[in-house]
Homo-oligomer: A and B are copies of this chain.
Amino acid sequence: MKILLLAGDGIGPEIMAEAGKVLDALALPVTLDRALVGGAAYEASGHPLPPETLAKAKAADAILFGAVGDPRFDAVERHLRPEQAILGLRAELGLFANLRPAKLFPGLEDSSALRPEVASAIDLLIVRELNGDVYFGEKGTRTTASGEREGYDVMAYSESEVRRIAHVAFRAAQGRGKRLCSVDKANVLETSQLWRDVVIEVAAEYPDVALSHMYVDNAAMQLVRNPGQFDVIVTGNLFGDILSDQASMCVGSIGLLASASLGEGRRGLYEPIHGSAPDIAGKGIANPLAMILSLAMLLRHSGGDEANAARIEAAVGQVLADGCRGADLGGTMGTTALGDAVVSALN
Residues on A facing B (Cβ under 8 Å): 69, 78, 81, 83, 87, 112-115, 118, 134-135, 137, 139-141, 144, 146, 148-160, 185, 187-195, 216-218, 220-226, 238-239, 241-246, 248-250, 254, 275
Min Cβ gap A294→B in Å is: 18
With A78-B190, A242-B242 given, name 19 new contacts (CB 8 A): A87-B188, A112-B115, A149-B194, A150-B158, A151-B193, A152-B154, A152-B155, A152-B191, A153-B156, A154-B155, A155-B155, A185-B238, A217-B244, A218-B245, A220-B242, A221-B248, A222-B249, A224-B246, A224-B249
Q: Which residues of B contact A159 (CB under 8 A)?
A: 148-150
Evaluate contact between A192 and B254: CB separation under 8 angstroms.
no
Evaluate contact between A220 and B193: CB separation under 8 angstroms.
no
Evaluate contact between A216 and B242: CB separation under 8 angstroms.
yes
26 residue pairs of the A-B complex, CB under 8 angstroms, read A78-B193, A83-B188, A87-B188, A113-B114, A113-B226, A114-B224, A134-B188, A134-B189, A137-B152, A148-B159, A150-B158, A151-B157, A151-B189, A151-B190, A151-B191, A152-B154, A152-B155, A153-B156, A153-B189, A153-B190, A154-B155, A217-B242, A220-B246, A221-B248, A221-B254, A224-B224
Min Cβ gap A12→B in Å is: 16
Q: Which residues of B contact A190 (CB under 8 A)?
A: 78, 139-141, 151-153
Residue in A78, A155, A218 whose Cβ sees the most chain B Cβ within 10 Å: A155
Number of copies: 2
Q: Which residues of B contact A226 (CB under 8 A)?
A: 113
Among the listed B149, B158, B217, B275, which residue makes an inter-chain contact with A148, where contact means beta carbons less than 8 Å apart?
Answer: B158
Secondary structure at the A interface, as helix, strand, loop or mixed, is helix
Among the listed B160, B238, B246, which residue makes an inter-chain contact with A221, where contact means beta carbons less than 8 Å apart?
Answer: B246
CA distance A201 to B151 in the complex (A): 16
CA distance A191 to B238 in the complex (A): 14
Q: Which residues of B contact A222 (CB under 8 A)?
A: 249
Q: Which residues of B contact A144 (CB under 8 A)?
A: 158
Q: Which residues of B contact A217 (CB under 8 A)?
A: 241-242, 244-246
CA distance A249 to B220 in the complex (A): 9
Min Cβ gap A296→B in Å is: 23
CA distance A195 to B151 in the complex (A): 8
Evaluate contact between B153 and A191: CB separation under 8 angstroms.
yes
A154 — nearest CB in chain B belongs to which residue? B154
CA distance A114 to B249 in the complex (A): 11
Q: Which residues of B contact A154 (CB under 8 A)?
A: 152-155
A328 — nearest CB in chain B belongs to which residue? B225
Q: Which residues of B contact A141 (CB under 8 A)?
A: 190, 193-194
Evaluate contact between B81 and A187: CB separation under 8 angstroms.
yes
Q: Which residues of B contact A156 (CB under 8 A)?
A: 150-153
CA distance A134 to B140 in the complex (A): 15
A143 — nearest CB in chain B belongs to which residue? B158
